Amino acid sequence: MGHTDTGLHQLDRSLVWAGFKSLTPISLFVTIFGVAFGLAAKQSGMSDSLVISMSALIFSGYAQFALLDLWGAQVPLVAMLVAAVAINARHLLMGATLYPWLRHLPPLKRYGVMMVASDANWAMSMQAFSRGQPGLGLLLGGGLAIWLFWVLGTWLGIHFGNALSDPKTLGLDMVMGCFLLAMVLGGDRNPRMCLIWSVAAIASLLAYRYLPENSHVIVGTLAGGLAGAVKGEQHHEH
Amino acid sequence: MSIETTGMGIVGIVLLMVVVTLATRWGGVYVMSIAPISARVRQFINAMSASVLVALIAPMALTGDVATRVALCATAALMLAVNKPLPAIAVGVVAAALVRQL
């Protein structure tokens, strides 16, 4: 292995454990979102083992919530794949931004660490690198913490959901919609994003009204993506 | 084309989702090892990530009952005011529950 850089790519047991502990406080929130997913999934009529398997294997909150939205006696294949790719596309950017450090690891480790990449541990890891500290322990250890609490929360949500007789009266059918909306508005909010959202919403509604069932996901996503590529980001000088 | 949500269909759906998710987690690293991602592609990917959520919610807001709309408005208002997802989601759910009690 080339140790030609400053060694920021180092990854050993103590760094992983330190990363696990660093992300544990944030994981409390992950647990609550897991509960929300478990609850919402139960309302879609999924079996307990299916819901747990989804959280443990897919490990992508947004994509799992999106799948619930499409869930019925049948699931539309193309809409499901487009939604999953679009939602998870940000992982591509995470991998790309981590590449300068990941490239020093052997392929098995390099791709193994990426299996638990998600928003919070990626952000912490990038922050550590920018401070000149090793960050891959945060990525792997923190990712394992998030995974563990995501599955734990899902399990709690399933059991809570099983105990409820009428979730709709309690407004719990809105967990998914409110979750997705909060995630949209929690990101960047600027005129460019407003334009992208508007294009996505209008395209989605038009497709919902005039095109075949479930095409609204595909049409809205691609329209918004193209709007973003055409509009371009403004670069402010700092 | 659709997949039945029974037996092997369910296994297939979960497997497909796992494959897509892993492909995106690995894809960025792999692509960078061949050629760097251009700014234009990065902007398209970023915009798509936000758009898919909007595309899912928009019909929900249009076709939902009054409680659905009140819940979404409450969540949006809280997000714009304090920018904290958990309280915003909680208020949305409580708002829907209250409307349905009326």
pLDDT tens sequence across A51-93 = 999 999 999 998 999 999 899 999 999 999 999 999 898 899 8
pLDDT at A5: 54
Cα of B62 vs its chain's centroid, Å: 17
Is B11 within 8 Å of chain A by CB? no
Asked if B12 and A50 touch (Cβ cutoff 8 Å), the reply is no
Nearest CA in chain B to A52: B14
Residues of A (3-62) whose Cβ lies below 8 Å from B: 29, 32, 36, 50, 53-54, 57-60, 62
Look over chain A and give the mean of its residue pLDDT values, rounded to a whole number: 89
Separation CA A1–CA A147 (nearest Å): 29
Is B65 within 8 Å of chain A by CB? no
Is B34 within 8 Å of chain A by CB? no
Closest by Cα among A181, A171, A202 to B80: A181
Separation CA A16–CA B90 (nearest Å): 33
pLDDT at B22: 97
HSE toward the beta carbon, residue A222, CA cutoff 13 A: 9
What is the value of ipTM here, to two decimals? 0.87
Return the number of other C-beta atoms located less than 10 Å from residue A105's C-beta.
18
Return the number of other C-beta atoms located less than 10 Å from residue B39's C-beta.
12
Is A194 within 8 Å of chain B by CB? no
Name A74's bridge partners.
B4
Asked if A84 and A63 touch (Cβ cutoff 8 Å), the reply is yes
Task: Tell me the backbone φ, ψ of residue B69, rounded to 5 degrees.
Answer: -65, -40
Cβ contact A232–B43 (<8 Å)? yes
H or E, element range at A28: helix A13-43
Cβ contact B25–A229 (<8 Å)? no
Separation CA A215–CA A106 (nearest Å): 41
Q: Which residues of B touch A96 (CB under 8 A)?
A: 28-29, 31-32, 36-37, 42
Task: Please report the beta strands in A31-92, taking only residues with DSSP state E, as ranges in sequence order.
Answer: 74-76
pLDDT tens sequence across B14-44 = 999 999 999 999 999 999 999 888 888 888 8
Nearest CA in chain A to B50: A184
Contacts of B36 (CB under 8 A, 6+ apart): A96
Closest by Cα among A228, A218, A174, A168 to A198: A228
Separation CA A88–CA A35 (nearest Å): 21
Separation CA A134–CA A103 (nearest Å): 14
CA A99-A26-A138 angle, 5° bins: 30
Instruction: Write the DSSP assignment of A94-116 as a string of letters.
Output: HHHHHHHHHTTS-HHHHHHHHTT
Residue B64, pLDDT above cutoff 80: yes
Looking at this protein, which amino acid is placed at residue A11? L
Cβ contact A168–B59 (<8 Å)? no
Nearest CA in chain A to B20: A85
pLDDT at A3: 41
Instruction: Provide the token pair at A116.
Output: 């638990």
Hey, is A165 helix, strand or coil?
coil
pLDDT-based confidence at B11, cuts 50/70/90? Answer: very high
